[in-house]
Amino acid sequence: MQQNFLLKKEKLNEFLTALSKEAKVFVPALNENNASCFLPFKNQEIFLSKRTSFSPKKILLPPLEKEFIFRKKSSSFKIEHLLDSKKRVFFGVRSCDTHAIKALDKLYLEYFTEDEWYKAIREDITIIALQCSKSCENGFCKSMGTNNPVGHDLLFVEKEKSFFVEAASERGKQVVQKYRDFFNQTNFIKPEPKLKFGKKLETFGLKEILDKNFSHKKWKSEAKKCLSCSSCTQVCPSCYCFLSFDKFILDSGDSERFRAWDSCQLKRFTKVSHNYVFRESRESRLRQFVMHKLSYFPENHGLPLCVGCGRCISVCPVGIDLTEIASTIRGDVK
Amino acid sequence: MKKLSLTAPALAEIIEVRKDTDKIKTFTIKYVDKQDQKRFHFVPGKFLMVSVFGFGEMPISLSSSPLKTESLQLTIKDVGTITHAMLQLKKGDKIGLRGPFGTGFPIARFRKKNILFVSGGCGMAPLRPLVCAIADKREEFGELKLLYGCQNSDHVLFREDLKEWGKSGGLDVLLTVDKCTPDWGGSCGPVTVLFNKTEINPENAVACVVGPPVMLHFVIKELKKCGFKDEQIYASLERLMHCGMGKCAHCNVAEKYACIDGPVFNGTELAKMPLEEK
């Protein structure tokens, strides 16, 4: 059976409205601060012009998530385990972000033991990927081999008056079957947009080069600019660190446990007892960010933790660019 | 049998509190669910994630003998919010436990070897289960020596055990304190001063080191000076884990996670790590 279809552009919101009846749908859109991110679909204008400033990471790993409620029961506690499982649809996920989800899956579902909170959210997501039709600011996905989506269920490619739609998984086929009225079958083959990339990151042998140049002067000179603002780790679609803390529900004796985003760029990240901090210098923290992405994670999981979206470069207030750091260090290798 | 949950804390009850020093207490604890207690066993060097409800969760090394699993012990020093709250708890109070997590000391590899234990301050807590396990099968091991540094004479932990191990287990105990008081007749200074006070022979030996990061750094240096090779050294790293499952990344050291690959690492692994990334 032919698996390629067309969806008329003016039908997009109607299609998403139909999906909303059975799942929570998230779409790229502008928030109240005019920042592009993934928001619950409310029939608003869909942000299609370029990749969003924030990835769907915010839904998979909520910036603040409640894990437990500890109910005080006379001299003991009752532990309520909170898991947020529901049907979700992510519409308009760019290729880079599908690869970031793949990396997060590796860590949170496969490594050592699965994470129940991530699994609850991740388990039932239909991913509708959107092929980029032009290259984006600071992106270098081609260098990272992440310029074609993975793990998605449907692929949308924007054409002039319609979207070319490819069902990429069983789940994707079922969506098309179920909402067949929105789709017209087509004999067109998938358009392959020609993208030009301004940035490049040569990954060949990069891990070894970075490992051998742990004390390279570039780390120090670049870190001089760094403000430790942690914007890079927040916009990164694959940065996943978190911390855990409790809070009392006042007046009840009950308490709650939360997990919240953390960042390796903050000094307290490696603080232990007696205020000893392992990565005290900005140099060591900036290096941790880059090394984790390009050396440590690949070693453990067989794929980089950087998907080449370029968001960390776009957001950095002082112009730190990990592709430039990597190429400088590589350039000095004789 | 079902394993103890790694993600959800299991309820446990404090059945005894012993004050060790002005800032350190040892808690004897039992799981509320008897089945949980039956499932509980551990290798020396492993740790639990301990919940003090309303204050948070923290990694604490087990300090009891691995041979006695009808209850467990945690020796905790007041160093922050959660430990401070924990130290206020009394007999009958409930806490949450996850784990045990991490890899412990590979005791089987120490058979027939001379073992040098080096500990600083609270580092004696995770070493205690190791010494207990070795003392239990004393004849399988060679000479045993402990170098132990404390803040002052009041801070020496597990005095009874030290005496007992000295007598019956043939453990040679050398103590030193940072702050000397007139009543203290022994060595003064950091634990490294003890390296000059006794013969330390690397031949057919292993060294097990537990203590704060700075101590670890200097002790490993000292061991190397004595002729110990990387593979003869085992050290437990101090890190503040938030999950214990290799996810939160707080204990990430190069490719390793102290919570799942450690906290006990062999010297060959330590040599590849940027341990003192200041």
- Provide block-wise average pLDDT over 10 residues at a time, chain A (334 residues): 84 96 96 96 94 96 97 93 95 96 96 94 96 90 93 94 94 94 88 83 93 93 95 97 96 94 95 91 95 95 95 96 94 71
Q: Looking at the structure, do residues B199 and B118 belong to the same domain, yes or no?
A: yes
**Chain A contact present for B193, CB below 8 A:** no
Q: What is the DSSP letter of B103?
A: B
**Chain A contact present for B3, CB below 8 A:** no
Residue type, A237: P
| CATH code assigned at B80 | 2.40.30.10
Q: Looking at the structure, do residues B219 and B136 belong to the same domain, yes or no?
A: yes
**Domain boundary pick from B67, B100, B133:** B100
Determine the structural domain holding residue B40 and report its residue range: 10-100
Minimal Cβ distance to B94: which of A75, A81, A262: A75
Over chain A, what is the mean pLDDT? 93
CA distances (Å), origin B175, targets B22, B121, B159, B178, B192: 19, 11, 11, 10, 11
Q: Indicate yes or no: CB of B96 within 8 angstroms of CB of A269.
A: no
Q: Looking at the structure, do residues B83 and B127 belong to the same domain, yes or no?
A: no
- Whether B5 is covered by a domain: the verdict is no
- Whether B179 is covered by a domain: the verdict is yes
B-chain residues within 8 Å CB-CB of A207? none
**Chain A contact present for B245, CB below 8 A:** yes
- Whether B278 is covered by a domain: the verdict is no
A296: nearest CA in chain B?
A: B255
CB pairs under 8 A between A and B: 124
For residues B55, B60, B62, B64, the Cα torsion angle rounded to the nearest 10 degrees is: -60
- Looking at residue B154, its pLDDT comes to 86
- Looking at residue A334, its pLDDT comes to 57
Other C-beta atoms lying within 10 Å of the C-beta of residue A19: 22
Q: Indicate yes or no: CB of B32 within 8 angstroms of CB of A76.
A: yes
- Whether B40 is covered by a domain: the verdict is yes
B19: phi then psi, degrees, rounded to nearest 5: -85, 120
Q: Looking at the structure, do residues B116 and B95 belong to the same domain, yes or no?
A: no
B127–chain A nearest CA distance, Å: 18
* Interface probe, candidates B57, B237, B251, B252, chain A, greatest A C-beta count within 10 A: B252
Contacts of A36 (CB under 8 A, 6+ apart): A28, A29, A30, A47, A50, A52, A53, A54
Contacts of B165 (CB under 8 A, 6+ apart): B131, B135, B144, B146, B171, B173
Token pair, residue A322, equals: 């990990």
A243–chain B nearest CA distance, Å: 6
- Whether B196 is covered by a domain: the verdict is yes
Q: Looking at the structure, do residues B96 and B111 belong to the same domain, yes or no?
A: no
- Looking at residue B266, its pLDDT comes to 96
Q: Looking at the structure, do residues B120 and B145 belong to the same domain, yes or no?
A: yes
Q: Looking at the structure, do residues B96 and B128 belong to the same domain, yes or no?
A: no
A210 in Cβ contact with A296 (< 8 Å): no
- Looking at residue B116, its pLDDT comes to 97
Minimal Cβ distance to B278: which of A116, A271, A280: A280
Indicate the pTM of the whole model: 0.94
- Looking at residue B276, its pLDDT comes to 67
**Chain A contact present for B11, CB below 8 A:** yes
Contacts of A326 (CB under 8 A, 6+ apart): A201, A202, A206, A210, A290, A294
- Looking at residue A2, its pLDDT comes to 56
Q: Indicate yes or no: CB of A273 within 8 angstroms of CB of B80.
A: yes
Q: Looking at the structure, do residues B128 and B199 belong to the same domain, yes or no?
A: yes
Q: Looking at the structure, do residues B118 and B47 belong to the same domain, yes or no?
A: no
**Domain boundary pick from B100, B133, B165:** B100
ipTM of the complex, rounded to two decimals? 0.91
Q: Indicate yes or no: CB of A245 within 8 angstroms of CB of B9.
A: no
- Whether B241 is covered by a domain: the verdict is yes
Q: Indicate yes or no: CB of A246 within 8 angstroms of CB of B80.
A: no
Domain count, chain B: 2
Minimal Cβ distance to B239: which of A214, A264, A272: A272
A80: nearest CA in chain B?
A: B8
**Domain boundary pick from B100, B117, B141:** B100
Q: Looking at the structure, do residues B62 and B25 belong to the same domain, yes or no?
A: yes
**B14-33 residues touching A, CB cutoff 8 A:** 32
- Looking at residue A165, its pLDDT comes to 95
Within chain B, which residues score under 70 in pLDDT?
Answer: 1-2, 276-278
Residue type, A330: R
| CATH code assigned at B254 | 3.40.50.80
Q: Indicate yes or no: CB of A70 within 8 angstroms of CB of B96.
A: yes
Minimal Cβ distance to B6: which of A107, A113, A288: A113
Give the up-direction half-sphere exposure of residue B136: CA atoms within 13 A in the CB hemisphere.
11
Q: Looking at the structure, do residues B261 and B172 belong to the same domain, yes or no?
A: yes
A-chain residues within 8 Å CB-CB of B250? 241, 243, 262, 269-270
Q: Indicate yes or no: CB of A242 within 8 angstroms of CB of B247.
A: yes
- Whether B275 is covered by a domain: the verdict is no
A245/A105 Cα distance (integer angstroms): 24
- Whether B3 is covered by a domain: the verdict is no
Q: Looking at the structure, do residues B201 and B245 belong to the same domain, yes or no?
A: yes
